[in-house]
Structures are given as C-alpha cells and as structure tokens.
Amino acid sequence: MLQERHWRSYYKHVLLLAYQSCGVVYGDLSTSPLYVYKSTFAGSLRRFEDEETIFGVFSLVFWTITLIPLLKYVFIVLSADDNGEGGTFALYSLLVRHAKISLMPNQQAADEELSTYHKPGYAPQDTAILRALRRFLENHSKSRTCLLLTVLFGASLVIGDGVLTPAMSVMSSFSGLQVHSHTLTNGEVVILSCIVLVCLFTLQHWGTHRVAFLFAPVIVTWLLLLGGTGVYNIIVWNPRVFYALSPTYLVRFFMRTGREGWIALGGVLLSMTGTEAMFADLGHFTATSIRVAFVGLIYPCLVLQYMGQAAFLSKTPECDIHFIFFKSIPVQLFWPVLVVATLASIVGSQAVITATFSIVRQCMALGCFPRVKIVHTSSLIPGQIYSPEINWLLMLVCLGVTVGFRDTMLIGNAYGMACSGVMVVTTLLMTLVIIFVWQLGFIMATLFLLAFGVVEAAYLSAALMKVPQGGWLPLALSLQFVAIMYTWHYGTRLKHSFDVQNKVSLRWIHALGPSLGIVRVPGIGLIYSELASGVPAVFSHFVTNLPAFHQVLVFVCVKAVPVPHVCPEERHLVGRIGPRDFHMFRCVVRYGYKDVLGEESDFENDLVLRIAEFVHMEAADNRPSDGAASAVEGRMSVVRRPGDLARTGRLLVQEPADEESLVVRAATAATDGDKSDTLESLQAIYEAESPAGAAYGGRRQRVRFELSDLAGEHVDPEVKAELAAIVEAKHAGVAYIMGHSYIKARKSSNVFKKFTIDIAYNFLRKNSRGPAVALNIPHISLIEVGMIYYV
C-alpha cells in the first residue's frame, strides 16, 4: 500500500512537471507550423505543387521530427545530463572532467573530489584505443582549442536564436491579419511586430515569474488547437494523407524534384526549431517529464497539424502559400487561433531570450565572455535571470533584422541555418560523450554519428545553399560572438599564465619572518587573485611601494569548476601559508558554471568563521603549523560553516543581540565528538540574521566577534592566541586588495597577438564590468593595485 502511494505521488509529480515544461521548453517548437510549409514551397518547388509532392514534403517533415527530436533528443541526448543540467556547456563539462581536455586555468586535484564531479559508480576504462585518443586530446593544445571553439560556436548560434526566434515568431503570427484584412501592408505588419518586440524586451527586467503560470496554459491550448484543426482538415479535405506516413513518398519526392527538393530541405528543417531547448532547459525539469510531454502531447499534435495542412494544401493548390497556416484554419476559429498564436509566439520568444541570458552567464563562468551585469529577477527561482546589456543588444539586433529583412522567408533561411548548426555541434559533442563518458566504444559512437550526423549534414548543406538569401546572418552573428568569446578567453589565459610565472616565492616569504619585513597594521587584508596556489605578484608589488600590510592576510581565489553546481558545504577550500605566527591563509571559493556568483549575503563574516574553524581542524588533526614543513603552502581542506560540523573543539557561543548587531564569541564548548547546543542555536541565528534575500537588496547585518572567557580552558594556547589575533584583526576592519591590471603584448609578439591583446581584449576589458563589481566587493573597502602584464 505504501509503495503504491509512493508511485502514485511520483506519477503526479512527473505529470505536473510535464505540464509545466510545455510552457518553458516547447514554446518555440510548437510555433513551427506557422512557417514550415510556406518556407518549404517558397522557392522553385512551387512548380511541383501537386498532391504527390505535397505528400512527399509532409513525409519529410514527419520523418524529420521523428528521427531528430524524438529519437535523437528524447531517447538519447536527454540521457547525457550533467547532474541534471543540459545544453552545449553540459556536454563540454562532461568531456572536460572525463578526458581532461580543459583550457580553464586554476584547476586543482581537489576539484575532482567534489561530489558532483563523477557519477556514483563511475570507473574509467583503459583500452588501448581510448587511451591513445585521450592522450592525443590531452597533449595537443590545438585539438583542445578546436573543441572549445566548436562549443563556443554552438553557444553563439543559440545566442543568435535569441535574435531570430522573436522576429520570426511574432512576424509570422501577425501576418495572419493579412488574411482577413487585405489592405494591411507588409510595412504595417513590420511596425506592429516591432512594437510587440520592443514591449517584449522592455519587460524583461521585471522577470517572467509573475506571468510564468500563464505559459503552460497558453502553449497547451495552442497545441490542442493545432491538433484539433489538423484532425478537422484531414477529415474534411483529404484523408488519403495518411498514406504519406510511408517513407516511400520521401524517396519519390527526391526522385521527382531533384535539386529543388534538396534546397527545400532548408524549409523542412524549420520543423525542428526549438528542439535544442529540450536539452538546454533540462535543469528546470526532469528528463522523464520532458519525455512524457513530448511523446504524449507535443509530437502527436504537431504531426496532426502538419498532416492537416498537407491535406488542405493538396486540395487547394491555388491558395496563397504565404498564409497557408491561417488559410487552413476554419473561419469560425480564425480569431481565437490568431490570438492564441500571438500569445504562443511571445511565450516561445520569452523562453529563448531567457535561455540566451543563461548561455551568457555560463560563458562568463567559464571565462569565455566579458563580465556583464546579471540580475536575478526572482529570489525563489534560480534560473530567472536578466542581463541589461545583453537584453538591449538583442533588442537592437532583433529590430534591425525585422526592419531590414521585412520578410519571414529571409528570416526563416537565417533561422534554419542557426538551427542546423546547433544540432551538428550537439551531435559531434555527443559522439565524444559516448566514447569518453558513457564508454560504449567506437562502434556505438560511429553508429550514432552516421545515423544522425549524415541527416543533419544534409540539412546543413541545404541551409548553406541559402546563405545569400538570409542564411549569412546567423553565420555573421556567430562569428562575431565567437571572436569576442575567444578573445576574452585568450587574454584571460595569458593573464593567468603571467601570474603563475611571476608568483612570489613562498620560501622567500618564509625567510622574512613573521613581520614579512614590513609593518603589520591592524585588520584583515583579503587579497584577491586568480591563483589557486602561490602568492600573487600583486602582493609584492603592493608592499614594495607601501611597506605595510594587515595583521591577518587571506589570499582569496574565486574560480569556476567544470560542474553545474557546487554544494555550499564543498564550496570553500581553506589552507595556511607559512607558519602559524605569520597569520596568512588561503581561501579558494569554487562555483559551478550555473551557480550564482557572489550570492553570499555576508561573505567576510562567513570567511572569518571558516578560518576559525580551519584553525581548530588543524589543531585537532595535529597538523604541523611551524618549521620547515610550513615553508611551503600547506594542504587545503574543505571547510563548512561551523554549525555544519560535528568535530571536536567547538567554536562559537551566542549572546543576546539587538536588532542592529549580532555578537558572536569564539569559544570551545564541547568534548570530543559532541556538538554543543549553543553551536546549533548559533548556526540557526546566524542564518536567520544573514538571509539569502540580502543578496537581493536586504540590509547587511553588523556582526562582531569576541573571544570567549572560556576559550582557554580546553584549547591549545597557540590556537587561543591565533583566534585572538583573528578576532582583533576583524574588529580593526577588513580591506579588499585587488589588482587593477593593464595587459599589453610583448614587443616581440606578432601583429595578430598585438591586435588581439592591445586593441581587442583591452577594448572588451574597458567596456565590461570590473571584477570588484562582479564579486560584489564594497567600494569603500577596496584597494586597487596597478599592475602591467606583458604577455
């Protein structure tokens, strides 16, 4: 009985997610019937417009959406999730972790210990062929660069969809007005479309969570209308269209039409637009729910609609092909269908725009896009983000496309080019995933590549033939975005290489003694750098010009790791630099490519807690903290918030606090293996006083640390002294030190490198957000140190 109730609850949950996914995942795919047939018959294929040719086109559409969206994506690609996340970067992340082909700097062996790094039970195979291929990719930087460029090209095509989808969908829906209003000109349709597009992009900063509950009902209503009108047209016009389900019609179509039929594939592939969203939006739902929605509702409704349009067109060859969808709608349903079509096109456009913001955020996390502002429009839904710069750029380009092309045929050619390109990139990456991640062997990978790659290559070749008729647009946009992304990535890698080569010697620092040869002033200095190990050159540059530094030094590195999310308990790595009396620490803060950067509402107080906990962990583990063993950097440990640990030597007790301040005392209050009640209550109070909502505009809490009178009873005197030094430094204040870098190419560099670094990269750097702003560092506490990097 209990098991039956469990399965019933599970099925209800899956069906609910499947219903919700219709509004988020399938908005773009469900609006494809608006323009597939008119784009297919727009060219010279029009002269073959008879029943057999029309049935052949429908057969092409049917087998296309059966082979690619159904077989490839629903049954295969959705299984290649990265801890529940999907998309181009998810596939790349899987490959990076399993084949070690990353170009990302700052990767550490400790990153492989993350719970999300490998799936449970994963055991790498070591066949001779697999070992040779892995060695080739790992040892040849050009092959890794080629793979990264492929991923960036795929991401750029998705960003291009954010321009083309709104223009194509909105214009196609408004063109239906010309069916009943013959005096309405194309120019007026363009103006109406531009007004709707401006409103759509202007409202982005409000977020979609306020109206998201309407998305699913709109798309479900739209799909039911598609399926219903399709059945009506089949019964009324030509029931013989069922014969076209046979692939023989497909073969006869190409035998009859030849080259014109091949070119017409550029219109047929529009029936797959939005398919990539099934995989890209996987993180918001589950693979099972997306499969249920597609197989149970999306696929049958789309097939019935395409079948109905083919039945109508086969008996009315004289109708205007530009309005074939609205011509096939029964007169009584015209206006309701027009209204729902417009709403569905807006919903589909909204989903693609949000996906574009997500792609840009992922590129930023992996160091492949200049820093732009990311606003979280909902504190409850992590995926609801908005980027003002990207939003207005998309709007301008989208309006330019709408006004410049003024024709859905030309926009459709561009749209098909972007769609086919993304699918080819996904197929190539999936082939490598089958080899390195799933470890199914080269035979299975080759079969997958042949089964789907050949078909998609055929569609891509047809789209390339339409490059002069609008297909050039996504290529131009994608190449520009790839150039921006790779330039930023190239400059970032060179900057990191410079930092690595110019690190300050730890043995030299150790030889200086506890004072480091400078004046140690009260306070904590947080020195930000991109180095996960070693002391950055910005430190020596600072003390050379101003020979004074803070009593406690913490070298902070905020870096991305190739996983979608890092658990908060595993986010911070803390270690010691030098002996205990140096009071120098390192903290590495790790984020996944879909995590929210700087989401901590009270970073510096949280960091003090973690450092204090590390001091106790170090003492409890009897690690050496003095002598020659500490002349170099010590081992780093994952440090949770103190309240999350059940170890010895507890840290904190709580005293009553007023509304404005929270007094936190450092102490040890428990015996070995026990967690004090005071510690547990402190954790609850600490989290209540520092809510995640503070990141969305809440007031920052004032926290004051004090060393308890009980701290000397059960604790090592050296630990007590160090805790006292940390508390004293925290009372004196916290300063953030960061390098303000100017990157220049060496004089011996070639012309290409000088242009890339001195002009392109520096232009992007000057026109992007600074690292201090991106990390939410308080401006009043920021000290910037000028540095020149000759790369």
| DSSP string covering 660-700 | SEEEEEE-----TT---HHHHHHHHHHHHHS-GGGGGTPPP
Contact 190, 170 (CB under 8 A): no
pLDDT above 60 for 751: yes
Q: Who has greater pLDDT, 106 or 702? A: 106
Identify whether the C-beta of residue 455 lies closer than 8 Å to the C-beta of residue 427. no
In the predicted model, is pLDDT for residue 661 greater than 70?
no
Using a pLDDT cut of 90, give the percent of the chain over it: 30
CA-nearest of 307, 176, 338, 300 to 236 is 307
**Segment 413-448, tens digit of pLDDT:** 888 888 999 999 999 999 999 988 888 888 999 999
Q: Summarize pLDDT for 61-92 with one digit per residue, the tens.
A: 999 999 999 999 999 999 998 888 888 888 99
N-to-C CA span, the chain: 69
Question: What does the pLDDT read at residue 236?
Answer: 94
Determine contact, residues 549/542, Cβ cutoff 8 Å.
yes
pLDDT at 663 over 60: no
In the chain, count of helices (H) and strands (E)?
30, 12
Average pLDDT over residues 252-274: 89
pLDDT per position as a tens digit, 18-56: 888 888 888 889 999 999 998 888 777 777 778 899 999
52 neighbors 252 (Cβ within 8 angstroms) = yes
Q: Domain extents for the chain?
A: 18-107+136-473, 503-621+638-650+716-790
Q: To which residue do tokens 């006083």 refer?
A: 689
Strand partners, 550: 521
Q: Is 80 exceeded by the pLDDT of residue 316?
A: yes
Fold of 18-107+136-473: Amino acid/polyamine transporter I (1.20.1740)
Question: Read out DSSP for 520-581?
Answer: EEEEEEEEE-S-SSSB-HHHHHHHHHS-EEEEEEEEEEEEE-SSS---GGGSEEEEEBS-GG
The pLDDT score that the predictor gives to residue 733 is 86
Question: Taking the CA of residue 259 as centre, how many other CA atoms within 13 Å lie in the half-sphere pointing to its CB?
Answer: 2
pLDDT tens for each residue of 645-656: 333 334 443 343
> Could you tell me how many residues make up the chain?
791
Q: Using 50, 70 and 90 to split pLDDT, how confident is the model at 153? A: very high
pTM: 0.85
